């Protein structure tokens, strides 16, 4: 099968939570079936691209289009499984919309794990992990990722620091000042993590607790005060450019 060049960008690309292998005949789940049949109007013989988060991307051909399900057959692997830099983004939950945007951009920028961290000034007490994961799936479908970031259960800052892995650097955005982010990222390759506080910032006690962690590296994000979501994306982008 040949599916390359300009036509590749118009081929539907979907995540499916099922193992993929050459020659497999798959009945796609209802959401993906509905999208291909009703939105994209795919017909038998059309090509789609699928990935499962573990075995790369696969080119598949539509076999049947039914009222309730689309059946495809996998023909060949179209892209290998990506190598993901071991970077975590530890971020305080933000208001709906902004935390969704952070999850989306974290996926696009190649983060391996998104870990929500509850701090003293966190104003969001409930987090819809299913919705966040859906945003990351959509981002992965769009940007060409073959691996989904792991989405962890929310954890308090105290618990996060108490169980911090000895081998992982923790770069945290310290509004009180720190070393230039670019210099820290250049000397803190994987495994690493970036910690971003809530909209009101860390309390003085929290900043002291973070700084007391041997693996912690206080970073300055520049002279301007950034929103928490902007800071998260900016910090990840700098780390990926210099260390990832």
Domain boundary assignment for the chain: 5-79, 87-242
Residues present in the chain in total: 244
pTM here is 0.91
46: its two tokens: 């059309």
Q: What is the DSSP string of the chain?
A: ----GGGGGGS-EEE-SS---TT-EEE--HHHHHIIIIIS---TT-EEEEE-SSS-EEEEEEEEE-SS-EEEEEEEEEEPPPPPP-EEEEE---STTHHHHHHHHHHHTT-SEEEEEE-TT-------HHHHHHHHHHHHHHHT-SSPPEEPPPEEHHHHHHT--TT-EEEEE-TT--EEHHHHHHT--SSEEEEE--TT---HHHHHHHHTSTTEEEEE--SS---HHHHHHHHHHHHHHHT-
| CATH code for the structural domain at 5-79 | 2.40.240.20
Span 165-186, pLDDT tens digits:
999 999 999 988 899 999 998 8
Sign of the dihedral through C-alpha 204, 210, 212, 216: negative
The 10s digit of each residue's pLDDT in 69-92 is 999 999 999 999 999 999 999 999
> What is the distance between the alpha carbons of residues 12 and 40, in angstroms, rounded to a whole number?
8
pLDDT above 50 (res 164): yes
pLDDT, tens digit, 9 for 90 and up, residues 182-204: 999 888 888 999 999 998 899 99
- Tell me the two tokens of residue 32: 């993906």
Whether pLDDT at 226 is above 50: yes
Nearest partner of 46 among 18, 21, 65, 31, judged by Cα: 65
- The residue-averaged pLDDT of 213-236 equals 93
Residue-level pLDDT at 14? 97
**Topology (CATH) of 87-242:** Alpha/beta knot (3.40.1280)
Flag whether pLDDT at 1 surpasses 70.
no
């Amino acid at each position: 099968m040949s599916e390359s060049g300009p036509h590749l960008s118009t081929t539907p690309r979907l995540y499916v939570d099922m193992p993929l292998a050459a020659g497999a005949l798959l009945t796609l789940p209802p959401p993906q079936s509905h999208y291909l049949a009703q939105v994209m109007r795919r017909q038998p013989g059309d090509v789609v691209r699928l990935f499962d988060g573990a075995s790369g991307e696969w080119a598949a051909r539509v076999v049947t289009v039914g009222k309730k399900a689309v059946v495809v057959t996998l023909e060949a692997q179209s892209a290998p499984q990506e190598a993901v830099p071991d970077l975590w983004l530890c971020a305080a939950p933000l208001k709906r919309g902004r935390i969704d945007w952070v999850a989306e951009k974290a996926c696009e920028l190649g983060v391996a794990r998104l870990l929500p961290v509850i701090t003293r000034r966190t104003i969001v007490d409930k987090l819809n992990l299913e919705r966040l994961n859906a945003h990351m799936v959509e981002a992965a479908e769009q940007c060409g990722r073959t691996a989904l970031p792991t989405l962890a259960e929310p954890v308090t800052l105290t618990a996060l620091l108490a169980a911090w892995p000895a081998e992982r650097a923790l770069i945290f955005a310290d509004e009180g000042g720190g070393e230039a982010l670019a210099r820290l990222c250049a000397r803190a390759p994987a495994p690493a993590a970036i910690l971003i506080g809530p909209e009101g910032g860390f309390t003085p006690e929290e900043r002291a607790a973070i700084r007391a962690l041997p693996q912690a590296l206080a970073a300055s994000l520049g002279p301007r005060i950034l929103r928490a979501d902007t800071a998260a994306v900016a910090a990840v982008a700098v780390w990926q450019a210099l260390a990832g």
